[in-house]
């Protein structure tokens, strides 16, 4: 996952700050929670934010937990 993703979280956060972001929303493209979402991404985001401590960030839930994704999956089954 993180070995293949480009840009890295560090690069993306830095670019957001460089372009004037006052906060950053990290939105992992996962359908369900797992180790990457629970451990890896928070760790990488925390490390990346050390260089930009004045800019807060949040990490969103996986897409599969969003009510619109649940509704869409239910619609497909009907």
pTM of the model: 0.72
Distances from the Cα of 45 to the Cα of 29, 35, 65, 68, angstroms: 15, 14, 21, 26
pLDDT in tens, 14-67: 999 999 999 999 988 887 888 988 999 999 999 999 999 999 999 998 877 667
């Amino acid at each position: 996952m993180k070995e293949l993703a480009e840009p890295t979280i560090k690069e993306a956060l830095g670019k957001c700050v460089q372009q004037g972001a006052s906060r950053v929303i990290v939105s992992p493209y996962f359908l369900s929670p797992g180790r990457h979402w629970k451990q890896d991404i928070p760790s990488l985001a925390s490390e990346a934010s050390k260089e930009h401590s004045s800019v807060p960030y949040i990490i969103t839930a996986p897409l599969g937990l969003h009510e619109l994704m649940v509704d869409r999956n239910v619609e497909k089954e009907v």
